[in-house]
Amino acid sequence: KKKKKKRKKRKKREKEKKKKKTKEKRKRKKKESSCELEEQRKLGNAPAEVDEEGKDINPHIPQYISSVPWYIDPSKRPTLKHQRPQSKNEKQYSAIGELTMDYDGKRDRWNGYDPEEHQCIVEEYAKVDLAKRTLKAQKLQDELASGKLDQTEREHDSKDEDEDKYADDIDMPGQNFDSKRRITVRNLRIREDTAKYLRNLDPNSAYYDPKTRAMRENPYSNTGKNPDEVGYAGDNFVRYSGATISMAQTQLFTWEVYEKGSEVHLQANPTKLELLHRSFKVKKEDFKEEQRESILEKYGGQEHLDAPPRELLLAQTEDYVEYSRHGAVLKGLEKAVARSKYEEDVLINNHICIWGSYWKDGFWGYKCCHSMVKQSYCTGSAGIGINNSECTPFEEAITEPQEEEQPKTLLEMHQDKMKEKKKNKKRDSDSSDSEDEEKKKEKLKKALEAEDKRVKQVEMLMQLDERKRPYNSLFEVKAPTEEEMEAFRMKRSRPDDPMASFLGQ
């Protein structure tokens, strides 16, 4: 009996296992078939699934949208009603697509706006205003009861009184207001102002950047107007006014000092920086003054720096002189004409211009009368016409009468030959001297070139390492010539001379 019971139990277990396996196989087949069907529907090979109303369901809709929730009756599947809008909201959006307007009407920014909606905002502000007035009346009654309010304050009109002290108590809707910290940002241009780009319509005037609304240069620079008299002189005019330039100089000084090792910052320790900058300026001025004094001590020339102005040197004074209508002196002395120390600037014989102010056909003359004769008297405009008609100058027109040559004697001919020999000897000596000077110049030029090469070679050797420098065992030593010594003196560096840096310029 026990064995029979055990056999029955085993058979039951096996049957249950077979049932489970068959169920799982069916589920797998269903899933596979449903997946294959979905793929076929997506590809368009199988017809789309239909909902309760007979409408096709798009196979590309995601599963989390198409799958029906657990709380909907499974008998009504398939359906998408749970995802569709409700009938209550359909009335609001039904008239949106019905636009029977033209091109501009469809793009009107106020299309569909109801002006009556603004009435709600007006009513809300009216309520706030009423609450303010009640609060104000209540405070006045309390002050009257306590006796703090004077007779003058009672008669004062409530409209003229400043309402900022009540603004902290009641805020506007959608606004955080504080009378102690009132901040207004001007991000838009006031329409009464003239636009920057309309101040000067010249296309070559200052550039206007429309993105940043900036015009850095002065738009009236081409017109010749003074920037102080113009209402707007560019953004840089405001930027570089006041202490802006000194601030930029201190910032530049900070960067220069920081590069040299001292830790100074404009924002971190401005007092230290200001003191350091002042001491630097004083030391710089002292150094310049010492350098100037040393140059004057070494080279002289103080008398030229202390000389009086040129106006006083050339007889100009501030004496009062009164003239008539015709230019005659009525009161005081006539003003002395400024005279130059050079002889060329001296005007003689009634001439207005100096000798050499006029040039024609290779001859110099006076510009005032076109006269080619030096030390002549000025003839003015009449002389200009005469001198232009006669091109040849007066000096060229005069010719001396030629004398007839008489025959020479033998003694005179011998004396002439001896004179010619002496002249030839002098010419030979002069030519030899000139040749010697030319040779010296050529030698000095060669010596200067050799000295330049030697200096460059020395600089190149000094840059090399001592172990890599070549030996000078085969170097031939000779006494320097005069030209070499002169070239050495000309090219020698003088570190003590303060004007040494200007020699090469």
What CA–CA distance (Å, rounded) separates 246 from 320? 45
Confidence (pLDDT) at 136? 93
Confidence (pLDDT) at 97? 61
210 upstream amide cis, omega within 30 of 0: no
Q: Running DSSP on this structure, what letter comes out for residue 214?
A: B
Same domain, 18 and 82: yes
Residue 450 falls within a domain, yes or no? no
Residue 42 falls within a domain, yes or no? yes
Which amino acid type is present at position 281? K
Same domain, 134 and 170: yes
Same domain, 350 and 391: yes
3-state secondary structure of 410: helix
Same domain, 210 and 169: no
Same domain, 179 and 199: no
User: Last residue of a domain, which of 61, 86, 111?
Assistant: 86
Q: Is residue 366 a contact partner of residue 357, using CB atoms and an 8 Å limit?
A: yes
Domain with 168 in it: 121-150+164-183
Residue 495 falls within a domain, yes or no? no
- Cα–Cα distances in Å, from 257 out to 81, 277, 499? 78, 10, 28
Greatest Cα pair distance, the chain, in angstroms, is 194
Confidence (pLDDT) at 126? 95
With vertex at residue 279, the alpha carbon angle to CA 283 and CA 294, rounded to the nearest 5 degrees, is 5
Same domain, 27 and 73: yes
pLDDT tens-digit readout, 388-427: 765 444 444 444 444 445 666 767 787 888 888 877 776 6
Q: Is residue 257 a contact partner of residue 264, using CB atoms and an 8 Å limit?
A: yes
Confidence (pLDDT) at 254? 93
pLDDT tens-digit readout, 84-107: 566 666 666 655 666 678 888 888
- Total domains in the chain come to 4
What CA–CA distance (Å, rounded) separates 482 from 440? 10
Residue 434 falls within a domain, yes or no? no
User: Last residue of a domain, which of 241, 259, 277?
Assistant: 241
What CA–CA distance (Å, rounded) separates 434 from 88? 123
What the block records as the tokens of 499 is: 């004007």
Query: Which runs of consecutive H residues, i.e. helices, occur in 300-331?
Result: 302-305, 310-313
User: Last residue of a domain, which of 368, 396, 424?
Assistant: 396
Residue 433 falls within a domain, yes or no? no
Cβ-in-10-Å burial (0-12, 13-18, 19+) of 220 comes to buried
Residue 436 falls within a domain, yes or no? no
Using N-to-C axis directions, what is the helix angle for 482-491 and 410-463, rounded to 10°?
Answer: 50
Same domain, 20 and 65: yes
Same domain, 229 and 197: yes
Q: Is residue 164 a contact partner of residue 178, using CB atoms and an 8 Å limit?
A: no
The model's pTM is 0.25
Cβ neighbors of 165 (< 8 A, separation 6 or more) are: 179
Q: Running DSSP on this structure, what letter comes out for residue 371?
A: -
Low-confidence ranges of the chain (pLDDT < 50): 152, 159, 164-169, 171-175, 177, 185-186, 391-404, 505
Q: Is residue 346 a contact partner of residue 339, using CB atoms and an 8 Å limit?
A: yes
Residue 470 falls within a domain, yes or no? no
Confidence (pLDDT) at 189? 55
Same domain, 174 and 198: no
Residue 97 falls within a domain, yes or no? no
Same domain, 173 and 213: no
Same domain, 128 and 174: yes
DSSP readout, 473-486?
TTPPP-PPPHHHHH
Same domain, 169 and 203: no
